[in-house]
Structure 1
Amino acid sequence: MFAYWEREFAGDLEKGIGSVKPPERVAVIGAGIIGASVGWNLARQGAEVVFIDAGRPGEGVTNWSFSWVNASNKTVRKSYFDLNVAGMAAYRELAEAIGPDSWWYPGGHLRWADDPVAEAKFLKTADLLASWDYRVEVYTGAEVRRRLEPALTVPDGVPVMFYPDEAWVHGRHLVGRLVGEAIASGAELRSGVAVREIGTGADGSVRTVALSDGSGLDVDFVVNAAGPGASQVAELVARHLPMRREPGVVTRISCDRVPISRAMHAPHIEIRPDGDASMLLHSREIDALIDTVEDSAELARLLHESVRHVVPELGDSRVVEARVANRPIPADGFPSVGAVPSVPGYYEAVSHSGITLGPVIGRLLASEILSGKRDEMLADFRPERFRP
């Protein structure tokens, strides 16, 4: 069966849309999951893509994310929920298109609480999701231990929400695959350099990109997928992109055996596998301490201590690495994706939940750049809602 992208662009060709001459060159600033997805989609459709990243592909925020593919946590606005559901579907199509290899782990997701207020909130959300045809199953703690995760200490009678269609992704591995395939299609990678200037022509449209190593590029389009640095890139075209400051700490621990098989939100701690002998930990409660506890090693210790209460087998595990990273969240909490009319040729692809949304944003934005047509799925998330 053809992957989604094959069907989509094949249909465009039949309609004559695909005959639009691809741009000579597109600079994609930022080679995280969103930038890699945009560039991969563009390169495979014949565009000349140049990835620009101050570090190495996939080793920024993408590598320091909980990397949970979901829509169950995106119910604040129905259009945002729908976009995330499309993101989940895009992952299944992507796994079919390039192979799942070491990046795709569709094992579902578990969530439970240890206090009545949070428990009632989770059950209410589960009811809402079910009314939106989103698959959710509710088990007792005893059933979860018997059927899904025997290593957990979840109490017998506690209700546990299981979302079977959710997954986790090894972001760095996926980015490596996408960038590698894009390069095989003719893309170029400039890593270890930053963008210093974006030049415009007399009509205000983007024309050049100057890099920190002294080199420059002639371009037709620029895609700002710079994650936490997106507002600084936007300033290079006199564009105001307000961003939140919301740092998070992620810790990796090593263990002889990974005792759980899927991502989960336990009380006070988020846990998922991260390979054959590694696990990844995160907690919003620990994030709240970042400004008062400057030592990331201490934050890692607190995460490590917390996970032992949920998975006792991890008592002998050890912290391998920890990092505090700023999440790329536009000021209103929603993605900023698409063209900025005041700067022809300049596009934004900036979002929290970049792991869930990367493949669908990549497909939709590449289609918009190549065809000039705006997809209604992005109507609520257009960059022009942020005005000077």
Structure 2
Amino acid sequence: MTFQRRTILGGFAAMAALQAAGACAKPGRKLRVGVIGGGLIGASVAAQLAKAGAEVIVFEKTRPAAGATEKSVAWINPVVNDAHYMKLRLESMDAWLDDDRTLGMKAIWGGSISWAYANKKDSLQTKATLLEATDDPPVYLTGEGITKASPGVFPGDEVKLAFQTAKDGHVDPVFATQRYLAAAKRFGAEVLYPCEVTAIKVVGGAVAGVTTTKGDFELDHLVSVTGTDTPRIMALMDRKLELAHKPGLVVHTTPRPVTTKLVYEASSILEFKQYADGRYLTSFTSGPPNLPQHTEILKHQMAYPDAALQQFHGDMLIARTAEYMPAIAEAKATRVLLGFRPYPLDNKPIAGPVPGIKGAYVLVTHSGITLAPILGRYAAQEIMTGVEAPILAPYRPARYITA
């Protein structure tokens, strides 16, 4: 099996088919679509729908990119242990290249290096084997080879498996969100924030509108792209959806001399990178470690309980990353972000119509950065034309939500 890249339907250079889909709206006016959530995926959806000719309103509860988006490592990559899911991610990487060229996302395309110690070797090998069938096969490395390929990175002598890719990238997710929203506005979309959706009007089994903190709005379609708030939005339509609780911890630093364009993944322990302006970003892959001071964080969503714990996290994560990349030790934490990941129970995207409610559509995924461009395209296609995207078949909400 070989994964082939292809041109993606719905790119900003190829939207004629969707623009012609205005017949889906009521006679005499455009299709009115509300997008709940102003993170990266919601912004992508809004841009694609507005470009396709819909009348779009984005309802953002606090501010754009304020949720999981700004707390992401923002690594654009295909690396998963499922072939079909990898194919979807590869399509989205093509879409990223399109949007980067068209919208000026300022993505950094430097590739990545991943390595594993003994307890994570098998998992990483599964991913590497799938990558061998793509147009960016892994280049296998030793521990010493990592340092040779990326001077200044020292993974140690216990590396059991490592590989480098060439086509991965990374972005500033807040900036990318702003670029999508700017594109949406150019095509007539309205972005409202702070604006919380407090009720959803369903008439005859179909979406009719929403009540928000800025008033009532009549709608033909409604797209929920609300991350960890998705269960609440689904409950407003009398639908139940459970997500896993997955805290995330990300630290941004002061700038240092730029030494790399790559993203690094250290045995499912850390992910780290450096921006073009010299800032580092580093993150615990599995969130805050299981320590007594993290008891409440590991149970439920919450803000930082105190500044001392926030400072502890910043110092701890920089020190831990410096074990692999010593240069980061000279940087200081500027932002220490505690976030909570939108995490479906099977760690695969949820994408498609809400069962039993005409005009309702939901998107929620842990891989929102990688998938934002392609989910925006396919959501716009399905809403504007009614034509299903076959590649989304395994990810439909019906596997969790019943009508």
Query: 1:368 maps to which residue?
Result: 382
Deviation at 1:227, TM superposition (A): 0.8
Contact 1:26 1:50 in 2 (8 A): yes
Deviation at 1:7, TM superposition (A): 6.3
Query: 1:24 maps to which residue?
Result: 31
Mapping of residues 221-300 of structure 1, within 5 Å = 221-267=221-267, 268-284=269-285, 286-289=287-290, 290-291=294-295, 295-300=309-314
Deviation at 1:336, TM superposition (A): 1.4
TM-score by length of 2: 0.86
Mapping of residues 193-208 of structure 1, within 5 Å = 193-201=195-203, 203-208=204-209
What CA distance in whole angstroms lies between the structure 2 residues aligned with 1:292 and 1:339?
Answer: 34
User: Is 1:108 matched up with 2:115?
Assistant: no
Distance 1:378 1:285, change over 3 A: closer
Consecutive unaligned residues of structure 2, counting only runs of 5 or more, are: 1-6, 298-304
Deviation at 1:165, TM superposition (A): 1.4
Give me the identity figure in percent: 26
What CA distance in whole angstroms lies between the structure 2 residues aligned with 1:209 and 1:26?
Answer: 11
Query: 2:177 maps to which residue?
Result: 175
Deviation at 1:387, TM superposition (A): 3.4
Deviation at 1:12, TM superposition (A): 6.3
Q: Comparing 295-304 with 165-174, which one deviates more in the overlay?
A: 295-304
Query: 2:188 maps to which residue?
Result: 186
User: Is 1:165 matched up with 2:167?
Assistant: yes
Deviation at 1:134, TM superposition (A): 4.5
Query: 2:302 maps to which residue?
Result: none
User: Is 1:339 matched up with 2:353?
Assistant: yes
What CA distance in whole angstroms lies between the structure 2 residues aligned with 1:302 and 1:379?
Answer: 42
Mapping of residues 83-122 of structure 1, within 5 Å = 83-100=88-105, 102=106, 104-113=107-116, 115-119=117-121, 121-122=123-124
User: Is 1:34 matched up with 2:35?
Assistant: no
Deviation at 1:180, TM superposition (A): 0.8
Consecutive unaligned residues of structure 1, counting only runs of 5 or more, are: none
Contact 2:12 2:99 in 1 (8 A): no
Query: 2:70 maps to which residue?
Result: 63
Q: Comparing 131-140 with 42-51, which one deviates more in the overlay?
A: 131-140
Q: Comparing 204-213 with 228-237, which one deviates more in the overlay?
A: 204-213
Contact 1:149 1:261 in 2 (8 A): no
The residue type paired with residue 86 of structure 2 is: F
What CA distance in whole angstroms lies between the structure 2 residues aligned with 1:285 and 1:327?
Answer: 10
Give the RMSD, CA atoms, in angstroms.
Answer: 2.3
Distance 1:12 1:233, change over 3 A: closer
Contact 1:206 1:344 in 2 (8 A): yes
Deviation at 1:56, TM superposition (A): 1.4
What CA distance in whole angstroms lies between the structure 2 residues aligned with 1:275 and 1:165?
Answer: 17
What CA distance in whole angstroms lies between the structure 2 residues aligned with 1:328 and 1:133?
Answer: 29
TM-score by length of 1: 0.90
Contact 2:111 2:261 in 1 (8 A): no
Contact 1:255 1:316 in 2 (8 A): no
SS class of match (1:303): helix
Q: 2:140 aligns with which of 128, 138, 141?
A: 138
